[in-house]
Amino acid sequence: MKFNPVIEHLKTYEPGKPIELVVREFGIDPADIIKLASNENPFGCSPKAAEAVRGSADLMFRYPDDTMGDLKSALSRRFGVDSSNLIVGAGSDQVIELACRAKLYGGASILQSEITFAMYQIYAAQCGASVIKAPGIAHDLDAMYALYKEHAPEIVFVCAPNNPTGDALDRVDIENFIDAIDRDTLVVLDGAYQEYAAFKDPAKGVDPAALIAKFPHLLYLGTFSKAYGLGGMRVGYGIADEAIIKGLYKLRPPFNVTTLSLVAAGEALKDEAFVQTTLEACFSQMKEYEMFAEEMGIGFIESYTNFITYRLDGIADSTEVCDALLRRGIIVRDLKGYGINAIRITIGKAEENRRFFEAMRQLLENGRQ
Amino acid sequence: MKFNPVIEHLKTYEPGKPIELVVREFGIDPADIIKLASNENPFGCSPKAAEAVRGSADLMFRYPDDTMGDLKSALSRRFGVDSSNLIVGAGSDQVIELACRAKLYGGASILQSEITFAMYQIYAAQCGASVIKAPGIAHDLDAMYALYKEHAPEIVFVCAPNNPTGDALDRVDIENFIDAIDRDTLVVLDGAYQEYAAFKDPAKGVDPAALIAKFPHLLYLGTFSKAYGLGGMRVGYGIADEAIIKGLYKLRPPFNVTTLSLVAAGEALKDEAFVQTTLEACFSQMKEYEMFAEEMGIGFIESYTNFITYRLDGIADSTEVCDALLRRGIIVRDLKGYGINAIRITIGKAEENRRFFEAMRQLLENGRQ
């Protein structure tokens, strides 16, 4: 069976190891496994969202409301934008995919930072596009601009705060960068962790409504997978000028968000108190991670997200550390595949974090003997 | 903002009107609305599936197990195929989309029957492919073969039983047709309603395991949206030779099925008794639809699915009938857009069907006065 030659060379995305897999591979009791690998909200989701889903379980036979009227109205109010400026996807991932398929054809290219969310280049490659990367661990906007002028890519991806490093650009720098880009180049601003950044430092928080009013070439992405604790339900959204939304809608598969996902996201959006508790707990526990790193002499990147990146150069090999933690039932993310000797740890609940510190201390102390 | 010129001319799929929309448009009490438009299972889903989902609502924060190990094992056992012969999609819709994107590029084409599931041509058009249609209300396999020889399409779609007409091909005819197609042409056999067809007439039922053992160019599609009553959860699957599955996997977005959808589908698959009850009730009520049609002089197509198609030529205009029913809170599907003056009615619960008969009788008798 011959396929489009473009797909022959594609790599597939390696997601964080699910608990099920660790149970199967190592025979560890699921209750003893701590998953700090996928930047999930350790507090789960709003109890009101869970309650609403339980109350709607008997509606699973109904196709979803494909207009997504209720959720789009709620997002409209939340962001102060019109429904026509919104598209809801199966995770913001799907909006990235639609953007790639809408813009990338016939020898196109994208521009991104070297170490950033893996799906940009995966979806771009599916469209046969080439990927231009600005070097550096953080987004280097000057380097990105120079590469933009040199290569004239069809899409520029900016991840703020950045995954998997955790650093965040200032709003003013993001705005100046977007403004410098030609209006027919799509700028995708991935705000998956914006709730965290805006909480920690208002200078890192962006206002999608203000941005799209100024920039007709901007697509802002948000998600329910992180602060709202609904990673398993696959709900994200794009906010942009109506012309962009209309283009993406042409490629949107019908019923792309499930009946229960719409219920969960709608309820989650109403429970801002839950999100606040999440954010406070996250940054309070983040301090523990910073203190532990300093104590152990581990370099880390200041994080504006719900994870922290430990750089292990001169200390240990990141892949060996991940494997050793896995055998102890602790799942974190190895960043070797991104080209850095580092691990990314999701900030968990206090007890989960204590177990991580304990295991990590043992590993490093054994390694030094 | 310039997009891929291919998408400029795309039409978007018009799904069955959701109850929410009728509530908004006509101000009808949701409790009074009867939806017989989207071939949902009127009995909902297995109570065990609903119970399992309620018990898992607190897991929505976890990303889905992207290996889908449990569901794939269950499907493996159900169909007697290896896990490597399976891909699970967000509805079988997504598997259609992946197949189109894998096979259609650079002036490709697909072949289908004139009146069949709308998404084949929608996804093909997204890939810039042209669509060749064999004329006729039922699948005319001779005409399809002649067009296949003439145009050498990259994909041939066979929908058995066919949606939106309800008729079904015999297994032996399907097999002979697939056998006559070149092994580098992908044959997609859409079995979304196979449970119904196999129940009514074993000669219409196909065995995916036997088919893929013989035909390396066959992709069989199944779904949890119909007999299993999980239309809102978006779970379908493809069964094929490993080479096809590997190709589709290269384009599959990670986490394409939600955490709760995996739970629901896994439980639904265990509850065969629920499916049997569904099938018996469906065909018992189908007789009422046939008797009503005969009484009113309405032509209908013998159906092997959970819906029936009434042909209204010489009786009424299908669009007017649908609108009049809608004002009475009854949602059915107008097939005018498919080029026939007909309506498609999902077989509902006895009480829902009675209300349909009552309203339809009033409409037609008023029309004749």
Query: Can you tell me the mean pLDDT for A317-331?
Result: 94
pLDDT of residue B14: 64
Q: For each of chain B's 369 residues, which pLDDT tens digit applies?
A: 899 988 888 876 666 666 777 777 888 888 889 999 999 999 999 999 999 999 999 999 999 999 999 999 999 999 999 999 999 999 999 999 999 999 999 889 999 999 999 999 999 999 999 999 999 999 999 999 999 999 999 999 999 999 999 999 999 999 999 999 999 999 999 999 999 999 999 999 999 999 999 999 999 999 999 999 999 999 999 999 999 999 999 999 999 999 999 999 999 999 999 999 999 999 999 999 999 999 999 999 999 999 999 999 999 999 999 999 999 999 999 999 999 999 999 999 999 999 999 999 999 988 765
Residue B3 · residue B22 · CB < 8 Å: no
Predicted TM-score (pTM) of the model is 0.96
Q: Which two tokens stand for residue B334?
A: 């107008």
How close does chain B come to A222, measured CA to CA in Å? 16
> Where is B123: in which H helix or E strand?
helix B119-126
Give first-to-last CA distance, chain A, whole Å. 55
Question: Could you tell me if A151 and A132 are in contact, meaning their C-beta atoms sit under 8 angstroms apart?
Answer: yes
Rounded-to-integer distance, Cα B165 and Cα B88, Å: 26
pLDDT, residue A167, reads 97
From A1, A61, A63, residue closest to B244, measured CB to CB: A1
Tell me which residue in B4, B41, B252 faces A61 most closely, judged by beta carbons: B41
User: What count of other Cβ atoms lies within 10 Å of the Cβ of residue B338?
Assistant: 18
Q: Give the list of residues 6+ apart from residue A155 with CB closer than 8 angstroms, or none.
A: A99, A100, A103, A104, A108, A110, A111, A124, A185, A186, A187, A188
B231 CB neighbours in chain A (<8 A) are 60-63
Q: Does A104 touch chain B (CB under 8 A)?
A: yes
Helix count and strand count (H, E) for chain B: 15, 13
Q: Could you give the CA distance from residue B65 to residue A17 in angstroms, rounded to a whole number?
A: 8
Q: For residue B19, what pLDDT is reported?
A: 72
Task: Flag whether residue A66 sits within 8 Å of chain B, measured between CB atoms.
Answer: yes
- B176 vs B187: CA distance, rounded Å: 12
Q: Would you call B20 and A253 a contact, using CB atoms and an 8 Å cutoff? A: no
Minimal Cα distance from B263: which residue of A? A232
A229 touches chain B (CB under 8 A): yes
Quick one: three-class SS letters along B302-316? CCCCCEEEEECCCCC
If you measure CA to CA, which chain A residue comes closest to B95? Answer: A253
Residues from chain A contacting residue B4 (CB–CB below 8 Å): 101-105
Closest-CA residue to B162 (of B227, B115, B214, B215):
B115
Over residues A5-29, the mean pLDDT reads 76
Please tell me which residue of chain B has the smallest CA distance to A104.
B4
B45 touches chain A (CB under 8 A): yes
Domains of chain B: 5-45+273-367 (3.90.1150.10), 47-271 (3.40.640.10)
Tell whether A251 is within 8 A of chain B (Cβ).
yes
pLDDT in tens, A187-203: 999 999 999 999 999 99
Work out the angle between the directed axes of helices B350-368 and B318-327 (0-180°, nearest 10): 120
In this prediction, residue A16 carries a pLDDT of 61
Count the neighbouring beta carbons within 10 Å of the beta carbon of residue A188: 25
Rounded to whole angstroms, how far apart are CA atoms A265 and A31? 27
> Quick check: B53 and A49 CB within 8 A?
no
For residues A81 and A208, is the Cβ–Cβ distance under 8 A? yes
Determine how β-strand A218-223 pairs with β-strand A236-240: antiparallel
DSSP single-letter state for residue B258: -
Contact A18 B63 (CB under 8 A): yes
Distance CA B38, CA B30 (A): 17
Tell me: the pLDDT tens digits for A18-72? 677 777 788 888 888 999 999 999 999 999 999 999 999 999 999 999 999 999 9
Give the minimum alpha-carbon distance from B171 to chain A in angstroms, rounded to a whole number. Answer: 24
Q: What ipTM does this complex have? A: 0.96
Among B38, B67, B259, beta carbon nearest to A232: B259
pLDDT-based confidence at residue A368 (cuts at 50, 70, 90): low
8 A C-beta contact, residue A294 and residue B291: no
A317 near A353, Cβ under 8 Å? no
Interface test with A, best of B4, B93, B226, B248 (most A CBs within 10 A): B4
Interface probe for B, chosen from A35, A36, A54, A63 (most Cβ of B below 10 Å), is A63
Say what the pLDDT of residue B21 is.
74
Residue A369: its pLDDT value, please? Answer: 52
A337-355 residue pLDDT tens: 999 999 999 999 999 999 9
Taking an 8 Å cut-off on Cβ atoms, the answer to whether B250 and A21 are in contact is no
Please answer yes or no on whether A62 and B260 come within 8 Å at the CB atom: no
Q: Is the peptide bond before B202 cis (omega within 30 degrees of 0)?
A: no
Q: Is B329 in a helix, a strand, or coil?
A: coil
DSSP state of B187: E
Q: What is the pLDDT of residue B13?
A: 64
Q: From chain A, pick out residues whose CB is under 8 angstroms from the CB of B260.
A: 53, 232-233, 258, 260
Interface touch B21/A65, C-beta < 8 Å: yes
A13 band by pLDDT with thresholds 50, 70 and 90 = low
Confidence (pLDDT) at B30: 83
Instruction: State both tokens at A290.
Output: 């910073």
Q: How far is B367 from chain A (nearest CA, A)?
A: 33
Q: From residue B339, how far is each of A299, B97, B157, B165, B320 by CA, in Å? A: 67, 24, 19, 12, 15
- Nearest residue of B to residue A18, measured between CA atoms: B65
Question: Average of pLDDT values for A97-107?
Answer: 95
C-alpha B188/C-alpha B167 separation (Å) is 17
3-state secondary structure labels for all residues of A296-334: HCCEEECCCCCEEEEECCCCCCHHHHHHHHHHCCEECEE
